[in-house]
Amino acid sequence: MKSFPIFCLAVLQLSWLSVNAQESPAPAASTSKPSPALAQASEHDGAHDFDFLIGDWKAHVRRLPDRLVGSTTWVEYDGISNHKKLLDSNANFEQFEVDSPKAHLHIKAQTLRMYNPESHQWSIYLVDLDNGTIELPPVIGQFTGNRGEFYNQQAWKGRAVLVRYLWLNISPKSARMEQSFSPDGGKTWETNWICELRR
């Protein structure tokens, strides 16, 4: 009976990462468009696509606090990103904590990732355990080769924006996650969060 409440708590924890843990210096707006792979689920069984993340990492984050206004002022953070599987399933849970001593800023977040074997896609939820909230809708997508693309739509300061997560440069010792916003339906993207992981 104890495992079910713990799993529910973990699910709730995942949704908070996207908005509260997304601030990093990234490249200027790009002109890439969402991958057609997201339009229809692939036949690839991606149940183990996030297995590379399991374990403990050192995290370096660059965050762009002022978004979609042409800002080039980034804040840098360092800390940890630790991942574990849940209940011997394909789901995994992240505990993330970084600090920016110069800016006197601290980010603590949790992320829950769950795989749907029918759609062959992952749902990524940001969870705020302190406030008991989970961010909805999740960011949804999949991996094609060594690249993961995940999307949703959110409100940012009263504007509807597309949100994209990219997982890149994946190896046993390193990985990179970028978050970008698009205010024009995916025609252009501004990266606002870059997390580089190292073992």
Token pair in block for residue 113: 């990732």
For the chain, the domain total comes to 1
Percentage of the chain exceeding pLDDT 70: 78
The residue range of the domain holding 80 is 3-198
- The tens digit of pLDDT for each residue in 133-188 reads 999 999 999 999 999 999 999 999 999 999 999 999 999 999 999 999 999 999 99
Contacts of 94 (CB under 8 A, 6+ apart): 14, 17, 53, 81, 82, 83, 109, 110, 111, 112, 113
Is residue 19 scored above 80 in pLDDT?
A: no
What CATH number does residue 178 fall under?
2.40.128.20
Is residue 38 scored above 70 in pLDDT?
A: no
Average pLDDT of the residues of the chain: 84
What is the reported pTM?
0.78
195 vs 128, higher pLDDT: 195
Q: What is the pLDDT of residue 35?
A: 54
- Running DSSP on this structure, what letter comes out for residue 46? -
Q: What is the pLDDT of residue 86?
A: 95
Is residue 78 scored above 50 in pLDDT?
A: yes
Mean pLDDT of the 18-31 span: 42
